[in-house]
Amino acid sequence: MKIVKTQFLGQMKTLLAALLMTIFFSGCYSYKNQILFQGLNDTTYPASMTQAKPVIQLGDQLGIFVYGLDEKTTAYFNLPMSGGQQGGGAMQMLMQPGGQGGGIIGYLVSEEGTIEFPKLGTLKVIGFNQEQLRDSLQVWLQPWVKDPVVNVRLLNFRVTYLTTDRAQTVLIQNNKTNIIQFLGMVSGISWTDRKDNIVVIRQISGERQVFHVDFTTKELFNSPVYYLQPNDIIYVEPNQRKFVESNVQLISLVTSITSTISIFVLFVNSLR
């Protein structure tokens, strides 16, 4: 009986050791995978300034400001309305945190891809980029504004960041924000997250595109998603090390169960 007991305890210890080793090695994450931008040398690289210009989409909020020689005329096009509506109700006051009315006028792009603009009426703006809409408005406003200068800005340039621990949506102020700058806004990537397979989901003109970005190589700087677009979703996967950390309780439970079984076997054998 003593031999059987010894063999059983030995098998349980071997099983526990195998389980712990399996979880441990599955969670190993090499030091090399922690290093960003591998392959960069001390030299000068041509900086790519090319960026796909954001295209106006349904639900976008546009800030449109008109300037000209006659301030009284241009003030009409830039006039905030206390009710938040003008020109058919599509001109809306943006809301600041806390629900207070802001001072910026936003034109909401309708489900038909249009906005209602003073004097010009219904304008089809979907598919334009900001520069194209600006140039068109400067032509269309000439009957009412002498030498008009128009500024068009996308007010709801939002990017969403997802990890296993949190989700965060950030309002981007600079349309030429790259993915590295954005990660600086959200406190970077945790050391327990993968850096070689970051997923960027982008939706343009009704199509959803998926890109995989490797931050451990210098090819990141040539990625088509290096510069962000409105409504981008960035997802960072956990590495296997995080899986180990999240299963510490499981390991403790297995250890406790094994110890309990061992004590129980010893107790039963002692009675015999």
Residue 82, domain member (yes or no): yes
| Domain containing residue 171 | 31-50+157-238
Distance CA 150, CA 107 (A): 14
Q: What is the pLDDT of residue 97?
A: 38
Same domain, 126 and 246: no
Give residue 108's identity as a one-letter amino acid code.
Answer: L
Which residues of the chain, if any, have pLDDT below 70? 1-37, 39-51, 79-105, 205, 240-272
- Please name which of 157, 158, 147, 150 lies closest in space to residue 117, comparing C-alpha atoms: 150
Residues 6+ apart with CB under 8 A from 30: none
Q: What is the pLDDT of residue 84?
A: 37
Same domain, 264 and 225: no
- Please name which of 36, 47, 29, 49 lies closest in space to residue 213, comparing C-alpha atoms: 36
Same domain, 175 and 229: yes
Q: What is the pLDDT of residue 222?
A: 87
H/E segment holding residue 140: helix 130-140
Tokens of 73: 């005329």
Q: What is the 3-state secondary structure (H, E, C) of 51-90?
A: CCCCECCCCCEEEEEEECCCHHHHHHHCCCCCCCCCCCCC
Distance CA 170, CA 186 (A): 8
Residue 44, domain member (yes or no): yes
Same domain, 215 and 267: no
| Number of domains forming the structure of the chain | 3
Residue 55, domain member (yes or no): no
Residue 56, domain member (yes or no): no
Q: What is the pLDDT of residue 8?
A: 53
Distance CA 217, CA 210 (A): 19
Residue 118, domain member (yes or no): yes
Residue 20, domain member (yes or no): yes
Global pTM value: 0.65
Same domain, 165 and 40: yes
- Please name which of 143, 155, 154, 129 lies closest in space to residue 68, comparing C-alpha atoms: 143
Residue 65, domain member (yes or no): yes
Distance CA 154, CA 71 (A): 24
Same domain, 20 and 85: no
Q: Are 91 and 116 in contact (CB under 8 A)?
A: yes
Q: What is the pLDDT of residue 164?
A: 84
**pLDDT tens across 56-73, in order?**
988 889 999 999 988 888
Tokens of 34: 């922690």
CATH of the domain at 234: 3.10.560.10
Same domain, 18 and 136: no
CATH of the domain at 118: 3.30.1950.10
H/E segment holding residue 168: strand 167-171
Same domain, 128 and 174: no
Same domain, 221 and 95: no
Same domain, 230 and 260: no
